[in-house]
Structure 1
Amino acid sequence: MPHQAAAECLSRLMGQDHFAVDPATIYTGVHDPRERLAMNARFDRALAALRDAARDGATPRTCLDLIDRHLAGFARVELDTEDAERVAECFEMAMDCLGIESSEGVLNRWLYGFDL
């Protein structure tokens, strides 16, 4: 995807409540409003970093390194499986914007502790 289009796609994801109840799926959302706000802010920071990297013409590897670094801000051990999977899905949406098809194990290592 061209850099500007990727940056625009990432910008459109920013500011959304990614961790609210999703009636289109079985996702019940993060129930604590403070934690939900914090998780959305963390994801928006990741999106901003990825958007800036895309504008600068970053390689897929650089973007995956950024994703890995920002995933570390989400304490996997403190999240239930449903919320952890939602975090991974959010980063997959960002990867879609960037035209990256595989996380090369980044998401699996964070989600499961190993690459499948």
Structure 2
Amino acid sequence: MKKYINIIVLLLTLTGYGQSAIEMKTPENANEKFAQFIAKKKFVAENYYNGVANEKMRSIFTEKINKVASDFQSVATSGNPTDKKYQEKIKIGLSRFADVYMKLDTEDRERVCSYFEELMDIVGLNSSNGQLNTFMYGFDPMEKAKEKN
């Protein structure tokens, strides 16, 4: 029995190390980029994207994504930004779209994800750890690929 307890403790310890936060360095021009991001019109027609026609919904979507930008900015200026803190802000930000998810068509969901990617680029965050894929497709295709192997 003691052997099993030791194995469980070891596994829990290793899991804890695998989830440790990685400290990140905020780029010097991040505040300027956040301000530019918040100021720009969002969910409008550009390139192959038709935009959100309903002005009320466009305003709601814009407010939600701008809150994510503010959340990211608060982490960036906190003095101790970590990938884990940004991941949590992604989770919170995506959850803000839960009440309007059914009003987002595929192109709008793609646009939401692209805005998240812009914010991730501002701070140098390389991955959403599958959160954007789950938002977009309802599952993370990378996890499905791992399961097949």
CA deviations over 1:13-55 (Å, ceiling 9, x no partner): 0022110011xx2000001001001111111111111101100
Does the Cα contact within 8 Å between 2:27 and 2:122 map onto a contact in 1? Answer: no
Rg comparison, structure with higher value: 2
Count of aligned positions: 114
By relative contact order (CA 8 Å, sep 6+), the higher-ranking structure is 1
After TM superposition, list the pairs within 5 Å mapping 1:1-116 onto structure 2.
1-22=25-46, 25-56=47-78, 57-75=80-98, 76-116=101-141
Letter of the structure 2 residue corresponding to residue 48 of structure 1 = S
| Structure 1: distance between partners of 2:123 and 2:26 | 8
Query: Could you list the runs of 4 or more consecutive aligned residues of structure 1 that deviate by over 4 angstroms after TM superposition?
Result: none
Gapped regions of structure 2 (runs ≥ 5): 1-24, 142-149
| Structure 1: distance between partners of 2:76 and 2:102 | 30
Is the partner of 2:40 in helix, strand or coil? Answer: coil
| Structure 1: distance between partners of 2:90 and 2:32 | 18
Does the Cα contact within 8 Å between 2:43 and 2:58 map onto a contact in 1? Answer: yes
TM-score by length of 2: 0.71
- Using the TM superposition, give the Cα deviation of residue 4 of structure 1 relative to its aligned residue in structure 2, in angstroms: 4.2
Corresponding residue for residue 22 of structure 2:
none
TM-score by length of 1: 0.90
| Structure 2: distance between partners of 1:31 and 1:55 | 35
| Structure 2: distance between partners of 1:105 and 1:27 | 24
Letter of the structure 2 residue corresponding to residue 31 of structure 1 = A
- Using the TM superposition, give the Cα deviation of residue 111 of structure 1 relative to its aligned residue in structure 2, in angstroms: 1.0
- Using the TM superposition, give the Cα deviation of residue 8 of structure 1 relative to its aligned residue in structure 2, in angstroms: 2.8
Gapped regions of structure 1 (runs ≥ 5): none
Q: Give RMSD over aligned pairs.
A: 1.4
